[in-house]
């Protein structure tokens, strides 16, 4: 044997390498061979198993939100909201619930740069005393589409072309301009909020409308806003692009280093609360994910604070294997008739079953901190089991029994109707371009407007076909005529926003025909 003679003192300092079955390994350096130049033998099971495990190290990456990072912390209630919800994690001021947060980009793969223009995922798992509550939001209060059937198409348009394997701005603008409900979200994406300076300096939003129910059975529609206490800070387009070259892992590193250095990034949870009955006649359809509820209509109330104070001990075990699902609601919190939310209720759990496995909820990062008494059983990698507990319900052997009074609230009343494929019920001011227009005119200052224009022009000017560019101009002109004109100038098509030439008029007609107008 040519294994170096390790001194006792070296072994005193290090644990002994073992196989995964815990048996001491013979060497970290040398395979078993017949003489120094002889063949490697197959019965060196340690080396063989090392290769086999290495070949299986990756689980499929998330189809969306693949590149991310995360941290542990807690949520603390700072205001009494028991008049709105009976949720146990919100039961009294001062109550703390452990949290795991995962932040991510949307379109890029695992190794993609952190600072690209993209929405950011903002997913929280609250380990409440009534089971896990997952709030799987983004850093924007709205989304690109409002019906789950368009989600896969939208994501495909953000990913890569089937032939070249390249991302394509042409494909993105083609989809967006043919889906004008995207205008509000694209306006935010193209603003400097599309390139956050750090994960600590962006807000998080539940985005969907959810319901809360109080102990008396009264229901409310609600929206979650996590406002960064660090203040919103963004990169300019140029700064973000420079950072993709300088440090593709900049956001991951920044979050890790700030927490390791003793900082505790914090967000203030503010809620918008709408009385249940007001939804029917509200000026916007309150369940349409492409719209916000203006603050003046439903002023946000402070509820609590989210604090992140501990880095993961292991990236794969915690960040990669974390599985969030909007279906994980707790008593006192329910869904709403948001069609995107209903699609996500199925899709998230399903993707984790595929990605991590049938028992992904048994992994420590996903396991609730309360007793689990489920009738689901067995499957690959079963770890938690119920011993000899009955495997069916109902049973006469003392097995668990559901409790409708304690269960999460999933329902609301719906008017009966014909089964069919419908657009959302239209409310008085529903318009695909209106809220994007108020963002541009009323919220942004001159610098933000200038950056919006230059960001759009840079993006839509990069390998986007002429006919799509004409639609881009029509799309932004529908948001605001001045914005359309500025984009047209930037794209070198100054006459296009006037619809003077036939192809511009045709592009404008196409965008208008596909849009929802008030
Ligand atoms: P307000 O003037 O009350 O609120 C405007 C909000 O816009 C701010 O509070 C801030 O949200 C957000 N904001 C500021 N700059 C930007 C930007 N560059 N990109 C995206 N959001 C920005 O107005 P309204 O509530 O009447 O809403 C007007 C418009 O503001 C909406 O059409 C929407 O585009 C945008 N907005 C509204 C939000 C809402 O929930 N009402 C939330 C976010 C944006 P924040 O405080 O969350 O940072």
Does residue 187 have a pLDDT over 70?
yes
Catalytic site residue from 65, 72, 208, 225:
65
Does residue 490 have a pLDDT over 70?
yes
Return the number of other C-beta atoms located less than 10 Å from residue 258's C-beta.
Answer: 19
The Å distance, Cα 155 to ligand 1 centre, comes to 25
Rounded CA separation 90/68 (Å): 28
The Å distance, Cα 443 to ligand 1 centre, comes to 7
Rounded CA separation 429/476 (Å): 19
Q: Which class for 167: exposed (0-12), middle (13-18), buried (19 or more C-beta within 10 A)?
A: middle
Does residue 1 have a pLDDT over 60?
no
User: Which residue owns the Cα nearest ligand 1 atom 20?
Assistant: 188
What's the Cα-to-Cα distance from 340 to each of 148, 203, 517, rounded to whole Å? 5, 21, 20
**Which residues touch 291 (CB under 8 Å, ≥6 apart)?**
142, 184, 284, 285, 430, 435
pLDDT band (50, 70, 90) for residue 338: very high
Mutate to test the pocket of ligand 1, among 197, 232, 443, 451 (most ligand atoms within 8 A of CB): 443
> Looking at ligand 1, which atom is closest to the CA of residue 434?
32
Does residue 309 have a pLDDT over 60?
yes
- Ligand 1 binding pocket includes 294 (Cβ within 6 Å): yes
Does residue 246 have a pLDDT over 80?
yes
Q: What is the mean pLDDT of the chain?
A: 95
pTM of the full structure? 0.95
CB contact burial 182-207 (16+ within 10 A = b; e otherwise): bbbbbbbbbbbbbbbbbbbbbbbbbb
User: Which residue owns the Cα nearest ligand 1 atom 26?
Assistant: 294
- Ligand 1 binding pocket includes 444 (Cβ within 6 Å): yes
Rounded CA separation 39/118 (Å): 51
For residue 138, indicate whether it is catalytic.
yes
What's the pLDDT score for residue 495?
80
Cα pseudo-dihedral 210, 213, 218, 222, rounded to 10? -30
- Ligand 1 binding pocket includes 202 (Cβ within 6 Å): no
For residue 285, indicate whether it is catalytic.
no
- Ligand 1 binding pocket includes 439 (Cβ within 6 Å): yes
75 SS3 class: strand
Closest CA to 172 of 194, 189, 188, 157: 157
Closest CA to 431 of 336, 512, 338: 512
The Å distance, Cα 245 to ligand 1 centre, comes to 31
- Ligand 1 binding pocket includes 273 (Cβ within 6 Å): no
Find out if CATH 2.40.180.10 is the number for domain 31-152+181-369+408-421: yes
pLDDT band (50, 70, 90) for residue 499: low
* % pLDDT > 90, the chain: 91
Catalytic site residue from 72, 132, 138, 328:
138
DSSP class per residue in 228-257: ETT---B--HHHHHHHHHH-TTHHHHHHHH
1 SS3 class: coil
pLDDT band (50, 70, 90) for residue 501: confident
Closest CA to 115 of 236, 250, 254: 250
What's the pLDDT score for residue 7?
44
pLDDT band (50, 70, 90) for residue 10: low
What's the pLDDT score for residue 422?
92
Rounded CA separation 326/339 (Å): 13
The Å distance, Cα 300 to ligand 1 centre, comes to 12
Does residue 3 have a pLDDT over 60?
no
- Ligand 1 binding pocket includes 86 (Cβ within 6 Å): no
Does residue 407 have a pLDDT over 90?
no
Across the range 16-23, mean pLDDT stands at 93
Mutate to test the pocket of ligand 1, among 195, 231, 439, 479 (most ligand atoms within 8 A of CB): 439
| HEC secondary structure over 443-456 | HCCHHHHHHHHHHH
* % pLDDT > 70, the chain: 97
333 SS3 class: strand
The Å distance, Cα 105 to ligand 1 centre, comes to 21
> What ranges do the domains of the chain cover?
31-152+181-369+408-421, 434-515
């Amino acid at each position: 044997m040519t294994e170096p003679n390790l001194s006792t003192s070296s072994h005193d300092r290090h644990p002994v390498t073992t196989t995964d079955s815990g048996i001491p390994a013979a060497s970290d350096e040398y395979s078993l061979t017949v003489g120094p130049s002889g063949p490697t033998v197959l019965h060196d099971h340690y080396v063989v198993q090392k290769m086999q495990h290495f070949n299986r190290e990756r689980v499929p990456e998330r189809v969306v939100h693949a590149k991310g990072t995360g941290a542990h912390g807690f949520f603390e209630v700072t205001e009494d909201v028991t008049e709105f919800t009976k949720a146990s994690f919100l039961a009294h001021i001062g109550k703390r619930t452990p949290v795991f947060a995962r932040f991510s980009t949307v379109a890029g793969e695992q190794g993609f740069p952190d600072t690209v223009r993209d929405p950011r995922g903002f997913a929280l798992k609250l380990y409440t005393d009534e089971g896990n509550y997952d709030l799987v939001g983004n850093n924007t209060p709205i989304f690109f589409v409002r019906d789950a059937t368009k989600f896969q198409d939208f994501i495909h348009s953000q990913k890569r072309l089937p032939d070249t394997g390249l991302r394509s701005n042409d494909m993105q603008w083609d989809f967006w301009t043919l889906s004008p409900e995207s205008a509000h979200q694209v306006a935010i994406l193209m603003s400097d909020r599309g390139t956050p300076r750090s994960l600590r300096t962006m807000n998080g939003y539940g985005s969907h409308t959810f319901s809360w129910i109080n102990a008396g059975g009264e229901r409310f529609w609600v929206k979650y806003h996590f406002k960064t206490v660090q203040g919103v800070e963004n990169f300019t387009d140029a700064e973000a692009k420079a950072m993709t070259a300088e440090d593709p892992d900049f956001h991951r590193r920044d979050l890790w280093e700030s927490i390791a250095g003793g900082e505790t990034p914090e967000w203030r949870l503010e809620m918008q609360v709408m009385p249940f009955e007001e939804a029917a006649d509200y000026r916007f359809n309150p369940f349409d994910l492409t719209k916000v509820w203006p603050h003046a209509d439903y002023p946000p109330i402070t509820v609590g604070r989210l604090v992140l104070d501990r880095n993961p001990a292991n990236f794969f075990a915690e960040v990669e294997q974390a599985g969030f699902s909007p279906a994980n609601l707790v008593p006192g919190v329910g869904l709403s008739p948001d069609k995107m939310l209903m699609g996500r209720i199925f899709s998230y759990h399903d993707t984790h079953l595929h990605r991590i496995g049938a028992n992904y909820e048994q992994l420590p990062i996903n396991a609730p901190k309360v007793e689990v008494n489920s009738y689901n059983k067995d499957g690959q990698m079963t770890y938690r089991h119920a011993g000899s507990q009955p495997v069916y319900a109902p049973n006469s052997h003392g097995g668990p029994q559901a409790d409708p009074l304690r269960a999460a609230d999933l329902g609301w009343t719906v008017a009966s109707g014909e089964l069919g494929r419908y657009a959302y019920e239209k409310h008085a001011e529903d318009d695909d371009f209106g809220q994007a227009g108020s963002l541009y005119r009323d919220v942004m200052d001159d610098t933000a407007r200038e950056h919006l224009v230059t960001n759009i022009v840079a993006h839509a000017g990069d390998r986007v076909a002429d006919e799509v560019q004409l639609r881009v101009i029509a799309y932004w002109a529908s948001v605001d005529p001045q914005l359309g004109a500025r984009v047209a100038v930037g794209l070198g098509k100054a006459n296009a926003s006037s619809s003077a030439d036939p192809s511009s008029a045709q592009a404008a007609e196409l965008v208008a025909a596909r849009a929802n107008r008030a």
